[in-house]
Copies of this chain bind each other. A is one copy, B any other.
Amino acid sequence: MKFTLQATDKHTQARAGIMETAHGTIETPIFMPVGTAGTVKAVHQHELADDIKAQIILGNTYHLYLRPGLDVLQRAGGLHRFNGWQKPILTDSGGYQVYSLTEVRKIREEGVTFRSHIDGSKHLFTPENVMDTQRVIGADIVMAFDECTPYPCDYQYARRSLDMTHRWLKRCCERFDATEPLYGYEQTLFPIVQGSVYRDLREKSAETIAAFGREGNAIGGLSVGEPAEEMYAMTEVVCRILPAEKPRYLMGVGTPVNILENIALGIDMFDCVMPTRNARNGMLFTRQGIINIKNKKWETDFSPLDAESDLLADRVYSKAYLRHLIRSQEILGAQIASLHNLHFYLWLVGEARAHIVAGDFHEWKSKMVKQLDERL
């Protein structure tokens, strides 16, 4: 993987870059739609590529490991061949899901035993087998196996967890470097900075992670319930330490405003379920602010979702129609709202990038963050 910085903002830490992977080029800052079980919910692969203009999507190791399972994925020749998405894929390590979705039996030095949320079956994730699993899935970018601490998290727990995450990282790197890609193309491992909301722990973690010298670095354990100001403070601390010449990925973030603020702090990559999950509940993100399409006020608003959008669905479907679909729990409602929100997120990071290159990111961002949180 090759990362090239194209432009750095004069007034903020925002950067525009290009990542080159085996499955194509990614222009950063970028948002990665979440395709948990090998599908971005309610969206076709050709819609992701052609309409939303996604450049990379995310898959969840935990979900893919359980279903369809590694045997199927390996026989398919990896996730790209399995789901027909030809552009880059990043997989998380499963850590977050193990802690948030399952009945965790035990976190030990060896790894984590847990029960499947699907059938209750018992499984063990270790740094080593999670690397092997991600070799089988075949993502272009794979994530280290870490412990994602909850919020709030007491200092002693966060400190001890962090040390274990660092020891696990060493094991991840050793296993990853001792194994080869299975499908003939390069994979890259990103380590993850943890440390909850403690500045000294975040600094220590960022230094430790940076010293591993991998090709990109991630920040985890944020957007787990802490106030946005704490998130920004931690991002700032960590970005000051992580090397500028490598991409920085802030995991699981966030709202449109969160994304712009973190771009300003030096983040290059984002993922979040918000645009798709909230879409299915009728929340639309727009340039002017947030729409709850279920509200009565849209009942007879027959204007298009966005008449000026380059997304077909935004031009041909009205607010009143989408409201009807979402209220009636029609699948097409989830489809339209998911298309809209993902298109908007990709538009947002694309605009951010254009303004970084043009040199007026700071002014543009200041204007945008005022309106993006408005309730329409």
Contacts and interface: CB of A to CB of B under 8 A. Distances in A.
Given A37-B328, A41-B330, A76 B320 contact: yes
A213 to B, nearest CB: 37
Interface in A73-98: 75-77, 81-84
Interface stretch (A42-50, A165-173, A250-258, A262-270): A42-50
A332 B335 CA distance: 9
Identical chains in the assembly: 2
A328 B38 CA distance: 10
Interface stretch (A155-163, A283-291, A309-317): A309-317
Interface in A201-227: none
A334 interface: yes
A33 to B, nearest CB: 12
A72 B332 CA distance: 19
A299 interface: yes
A196 interface: no
Contact of A84 (B44, B67, B321, B328): B321
A331 interface: yes
Interface of A: 37-46, 67-68, 71-72, 75-77, 81-84, 299-300, 302, 312-313, 316-318, 320-321, 323-325, 327-328, 330-332, 334-336
7 contacts: A37-B330, A42-B332, A46-B312, A68-B324, A82-B318, A82-B321, A82-B324
